[in-house]
Amino acid sequence: MKSLFYSLNILIFMLMPLAPSAQARPVSYPGGWTAMTMNDVDSNALHIHYSPNARNSLGWRHEYLRDPKAHMDALQWNTLLKRWNQPGAQANFYIKSGAGIAYDDGETEAAAFTGVAADWETRRWFTSYENRFFYAGDIARFARHKARAGVAPYIGDYGDLHTWLMLQADYDAGERDDFSLTPMVRFFKGPSMLEAGINLDGGGMLNFIQRF
């Protein structure tokens, strides 16, 4: 499974020059495709979705959950409920939900998840919060929360490489009941975005998003 995700990451990097405008959001422009790979101490995930309009996206998500050593395949729907455009700032509020199957060593369960995501940003400052409530019978169940705060050390022009320095806080309200902090850096240019960090417990995080 690890080799599969490494291969997918390499493939996505090779496709970086082929695409047109990117943001770290779960809905793209109308008619746009997005490929996302998210890798941290909890899971490895690949999510590919299509946006038929500016408020919705629908796609497939595969996820490997490290703690139960289980896999999930699901159909995921993201919807933008509200966007606030302000002078020099923007805020967004989303719901992200999915349903499918989880499987582990011959055991299969129906799986479902839902959660909200909200962000506010200017060209200098960034804040966000999201949660995720996951249920897959006896295989896995959890409630996770994630918040971020970030600052851009410089203000780039359109088409430049943009950089953000961020701190991410994670709280797992399930059986683990733990809290972690992850200093991280975000780079994005045009349709491509890369995030990398190491949490204070020594675990790594690597996320990549590509718009098409």
Burial label for 61, CB within 10 Å (0-12, 13-18, 19+), is buried
Higher pLDDT, 73 or 14: 73
Q: Residue 23's pLDDT is what?
A: 56
Q: Which CATH class is domain 2-211?
A: mainly beta
Residues 103-120: tens digit of each pLDDT: 998 899 999 999 999 999
Global confidence as pTM: 0.84
Cα–Cα distance, 44 to 172 (Å, whole number) = 16
Neighbours of 154 (CB within 10 A): 9
Position 102 confidence tier, pLDDT thresholds 50, 70, 90 = very high
What residue segments make up the domains of the chain, in order of their start? 2-211
